[in-house]
A and B are shown apart, each in its own frame.
Chain A
């Protein structure tokens, strides 16, 4: 096995928050290796540290202990410009709250990362249209987020995360604000990207539907990895869950 196979590795990652004298350990020594092209779901109860781990892996916050490696590069070694480069081209982010820029149209939102990547405006627009068509919003290019449904907004966010062809898509509860059916559509879209484009998908979620498409499920509790399951191990359980759901 070569190092090349790991796209993300975390080594004893810890994160403490200090508020008014009390210290809260949100992450407590997380060791997680993720293969290139994998679809990994991070599951766990509310407050277990999923979003915190998402922020550490995505370089959106700094761990207070341990290291995160992206493509075998220690993120702590990167300066601001290298970190921005990484966020711009290597990782695409999807949030539960979509985080679209409210005053911009769908197309402008999707084009934004191409601007930061220094792509000429025309190419960026072309890329944006292509991506929005791909997520099924070819007829909503000039709609503002407020004029789109939750599912449509999340599709725009997915299109945006793909703008600069990232190797990794990090998603924090991408279906958290969506209904069952829309959530399923988003999950299938992510799976498609994973299968057809080889994008590594790491998704924090509460959504049991996600288990269906994941290669591995990482269960965390109180900031620690409780267990990691291969999909083959849990097929049976999902069958049961789906039975309960319908």
Chain B
């Protein structure tokens, strides 16, 4: 008889953790969008925190690029366009001679000299009276194409005809959306082809080639005279700082950053004996950068980190409090069905941990990604090479650690409170 088998009082078994884990995963899945909203609170906080940390890791400026113009250049309608190493006394005429003289279609009346600074001088060498001009390193001599105008005309005609044919064909496309898209494509292509044709018809001088040379070390930040000095002969960090006139008033001596070209980034605390000793032995090579941060900026950044932690805490506890509170009724129901308090708490903690890990990870990806994109786009992508793997992983660790810990802690209190309520009370809660 059914009733008789139920006579004995038993003790409810505690379900294995694996079972609770499966239920939590399922619970997140079945209320997917709700979970996403809850996770968004965690995500935003952590993304903010990580972006502040990333900014701290990327505070040193990019290593300055050094350019040199050791040559003069000859381009355009000469027999052999060339780069000639600079010697005193080179003139426009002499360098054209060296390039094998004018080609047949050369327009001798508008020989252009592009100076290193960007100024242009146009010389009429058809006229024998025109004086020759001396060149300096980095100057470029350009001989235009005498048939350039004709070329431009042909290009313009061809492109315009093609564009008109294209546009007419586009108007025959039946679907409105496709018509707009194809028309736009034809116009864009036409403009592109036209500008390419016009600039490549031998009338405009090309860009002056630059050569990168690395020969100096650089000091930047809170120094009296930030400099770029030749790096030969094993300059020590101490010497480099002295050469830069010493620290400025706001210098943060505890966090001097040394970015070596071929080694991981170092942070030196010059207020300790150890750091001072290191400064005497650490030598700087070409392309190395010493950056002295601003102490007040650092305080601001620490303040920002604290603020972002506060934002995280508030955002996360708010999210978790909401997500537990709106499920009081569900908790009451589960207890009516035989759930132990411990199991309810376990369920919510597991769910919180899963959400915490997932959302913090996403926060790290986005916070770090955005900061890296921003820094790369504004200061050059080379800046990102300054980040070390350790720094990136440490940010990940902080993000996931802080996010998960806060989420779990914020869940414990309301979950325990809900689980300990008599089911009748939990069921009465309306939100």
Contacts and interface: CB of A to CB of B under 8 A. Distances in A.
Contacts of A165: 2, 5-6
A86 B336 contact: no
A153 to B, nearest CB: 13
A112 to B, nearest CB: 5
A73 interface: yes
Given A60-B336, A61-B424, A101-B330, A84 B12 contact: yes
A211 interface: no
Given A71-B6, A71-B7, A87 B337 contact: yes
A82 B338 contact: no
A95 B423 CA distance: 13
A35 B137 CA distance: 111
B299 to A, nearest CB: 47
B329 interface: yes
Interface string A141-177: 0000000000000000000100111110000000000
Nearest to A71: B7
B425 interface: yes
Nearest to B22: A121
Contacts of A164: 338
Contact of A84 (B3, B332, B335, B424): B335
B3 A88 contact: no
Nearest to A84: B12
Contacts of A4: 7
Contacts of B422: 55, 60-62
Contact of B9 (A58, A60, A78, A163): A78
A71 B375 CA distance: 73
Nearest to A89: B6
A82 B13 CA distance: 9
A112 B338 CA distance: 9
Contact of A88 (B7, B23, B337): B337
A interface, how many residues as a size bin? 35 or more
Contacts of A101: 330, 333-334
A79 B333 CA distance: 19
Nearest to A86: B9
Interface in A91-126: 93, 95, 99-101, 103-104, 112-113, 115-118
Contacts of B12: 81-82, 84-85, 88, 116
A117 B11 CA distance: 10
A85 B10 CA distance: 6
B337 A113 contact: yes
Contacts of B15: 115-116, 118
A61 B1 CA distance: 29
A200 interface: yes
B427 A60 contact: yes
- Interface-central residue, B1, B15, B337, by most chain A CB under 10 Å: B337
Interface in B323-351: 329-330, 332-341, 343
A90 interface: yes
A115 B336 CA distance: 13
A115 B19 contact: yes
A199 interface: yes
Contact of A82 (B11, B19, B335, B343): B11
Interface string B387-431: 000000000000000000000000000000000001111010000
Nearest to A62: B422
Contacts, number: 106
A81 B19 CA distance: 18
A73 B6 CA distance: 12
A187 interface: no
A42 interface: no
A29 interface: no
B368 to A, nearest CB: 33
B2 A99 contact: no
Contacts of A84: 12, 335, 338-340
Contacts of A199: 2-3
A104 B30 contact: yes
A210 B341 CA distance: 35
A32 to B, nearest CB: 18
Contacts of B31: 103
Contacts of B332: 99
A241 B146 CA distance: 113
A116 B6 contact: no
Interface string B6-33: 1101111101000100010001001100
Contacts of B340: 80-81, 84
Contacts of B10: 82, 85, 89
Contacts of B7: 4, 71, 167
Contacts of B343: 116
A37 interface: yes
A36 interface: yes
Given A115-B19, A166-B6, 16 more contacts: A55-B424, A60-B423, A61-B425, A80-B340, A81-B340, A87-B336, A87-B423, A88-B12, A88-B338, A101-B333, A103-B31, A113-B337, A115-B15, A115-B23, A116-B334, A165-B5
22 contacts: A7-B3, A37-B3, A60-B423, A60-B427, A62-B422, A82-B10, A85-B338, A89-B6, A89-B338, A90-B6, A99-B332, A101-B333, A101-B334, A115-B19, A115-B23, A116-B339, A160-B337, A163-B337, A164-B338, A165-B6, A167-B6, A198-B2
The list of the 6 closest CB pairs from A to B, nearest first, reads A88-B338, A84-B12, A116-B338, A61-B424, A60-B424, A85-B12
